Amino acid sequence: MAAGFWNKMLNLDRRWVYLVIGAATFFPMLTVIRLPIKITPEVQSVYDRLESLPRGTIIMLPMEYSPDTMAELQPMAKAVLRHCFSRGIKVITTALQIQGVLLIEQDLRTVAAEFDKTYGEDYVFLGYKPYPDIVILNMGENFRKPFPKDYYNNNLDELPMMAGVNNYSNVDCIVNINATSGVDSWINNANGRYGAPLALGVTAVIATDYYAFLQSKQIFGLMGGLKGAAEYEKLIGRPKDIANRAMTSVSVAHIFIIIFIIIGNIAFFATRKRI
Amino acid sequence: MEQISLGTLIWMTVAAFLTLSIFSFLYRDNPFYRFAEHLIVGISAGYWIAILYHTSLTDLWIEPLVDSVSAFGAAGGSIPAKIGILLANLTPGVIGCLMFTRFFKSKAWISRWPIAYYLGISAGVALPLYIQSFVIRQVAANMFNPVIIYNTIVSDLSTLYYYGNSMMGIWTGIGDIIILLGCVCGLAYFYFSAEHTGVLGAAAKIGIWTLMIGFGATFGYTVMARISLLIGRFNFLIDWVSALGNYFNL
């Protein structure tokens, strides 16, 4: 009787699992219930660094995500941008992921408009160039080498913000929001070759790969996936933004996945034949 | 939600249709899914070429080349210098064009030159940095001084004993020990020149547990990533329905 039930569980049509996970993810989005979010030290250190910068300081915020990863990284990038603009920190941005160039340009414009920021004075968008390794290495010598012109075809020397800004030594730090293993290029070249202080915002899939660099102090902070974005939103005092709202769905979906894993394991052990 | 234009609403509806088409694969393979899949592949290729042309080919090659040619008509500057600049701007394009010899069977071997050039440059630039950032710095990060770990733990315990509060140093010390142990035991698991018995066997067992904990953490993060992507799409669908409702005053 019991074995029959567990056999049924093992042979359950996978579409029921999809349906339950879909419902567990969707319905919490319609509610106002918010689960608490704990701030981790690795996200706090990114916030603290930017919070400590005086007005007018320039940082680099390379944003490398595309429509397939925007759900995780767009809230993170917007939160960091909002933090910078609210504190008068100037931002140089690149988009070294080809499919995200237009998306990132739009995000940059949207957030800049919220804070009445002027292009060329408060922020600069350099755009895309192929071969990230070479581009990042060249920027270490001079931004003008890979980017003689910005995304809007302006000469960099014509932009007031870029006066006297030549390379990584003229920016306080780099916060790289990245969906791919292109992160390695930043660690390797910007930090490894030029010693630029680096923090990462990455998708959850690759986040565990980069904790080792946190421990070795090659990066000073790490934001992983939607949780990292939610933490940053909370730190900048925007707990009603998208990542925070989504975390309830994430938690509920995780509970159901854990339940499925437990059921799957019980069913496996209950039905396996003893040798 | 703010009022949006009809054009935006139409594009949102197209995006919603494509999202639902992709979701339909969860039920079973179908023509809607295949249409959406082929569309994204085609659009990605076209978009990639357009962006590459406008952001790389023109300003990194064509424009400098045109400038160096027109420099011959301008006054000033020595002719050898102008020829030098012209050659410097011409060479990358010529090397790149050699790749197209792949289309001619008898001359296809020439395409190996740009590949060899690119590989040589990449390896030369990347290898020293890679070893520095991904090997030496990582190894150095695992070289803990046992005396410092001991002192950290002892001083923290005494603070806890005398003043009743901890500076968390004890956990830093324990964390360092766990990292060191996990790293050494993880490496022991991959040492195949001796049988995994005795001390080596025990270390390898701890190593495999360390690896499993690492994989578990990665799996947990991966699940969160996938759920996040689903939330992103659901969020868009909710926005689309609200936009429809707002536009038609429903």
pLDDT for the residue B184: 92
pLDDT for the residue B170: 76
State CA A53 to chain mean position distance: 21
Is the residue at A47 inside a domain? yes
The answer to whether residue A55 neighbours chain B at the CB level (below 8 Å) is no
Question: Considering only A47-51, A52-56, B45-49, which range has the smallest mean pLDDT?
Answer: B45-49
Q: Which CATH number does the domain housing residue A177 bear?
A: 3.40.50.10160
pLDDT for the residue A274: 56
Is the residue at B166 inside a domain? yes
Domain count for chain B, please give it: 1
Mean per-residue pLDDT for A96-118?
93
Is the Cβ pair A208, B44 closer than 8 Å? no
Query: How does residue A256 score in pLDDT terms, banded at 50, 70 and 90?
Result: very high
Listed residue (B119, B116, B59, B64) closest to B86, CA to CA: B64
CA distance A230 to chain B (A): 12
Segment B216-242, tens digit of pLDDT: 999 999 999 999 999 999 999 999 999
Query: How does residue A1 score in pLDDT terms, banded at 50, 70 and 90?
Result: low
Residues of chain B positioned with their CB less than 8 A from the CB of A192: 129, 132-133, 137
Pair A205, A152 in one domain: yes
Question: Considering only A1-10, A20-29, A72-81, which range has the smallest mean pLDDT?
Answer: A1-10
Pair A25, A49 in one domain: no
What ipTM is given for this predicted complex? 0.87
Q: How far apart are CA A243 and CA A234, in angstroms?
A: 9
Pair A77, A126 in one domain: yes
Higher-scoring residue by pLDDT: A131, A222: A222
Pair A108, A180 in one domain: yes
Look up the domain containing B168 and give its range.
144-250
Mean pLDDT of chain B: 89
Pair A204, A262 in one domain: no
Structure tokens given for A180: 């791919």
Is the residue at A245 inside a domain? no
pLDDT for the residue B30: 95
Pair A24, A74 in one domain: no
Burial grade of A253 (CB within 10 A; 0-12, 13-18, 19 or more): buried
pLDDT for the residue A259: 94
Domain count for chain A, please give it: 2
Pair A19, A82 in one domain: no
Look up the domain containing A27 and give its range.
2-32+251-271
Pair A146, A228 in one domain: yes
Pair A64, A12 in one domain: no
Is the residue at B44 inside a domain? no
Segment B167-196, tens digit of pLDDT: 666 777 788 888 889 999 999 999 999 998
Is the distance from CB of A264 to CB of A47 less than 8 angstroms? no
Mean per-residue pLDDT for A165-188?
94
Residue A74 dihedral angles phi and psi, to the nearest 5°: -65, -45
Probe site for chain A from B62, B228, B233, B240 (most A CB atoms < 10 A):
B228
Query: How does residue B162 score in pLDDT terms, banded at 50, 70 and 90?
Result: confident
pLDDT for the residue A5: 85
Q: How far apart are CA B82 and CA A34, in angstroms?
A: 67
Is the residue at B154 inside a domain? yes
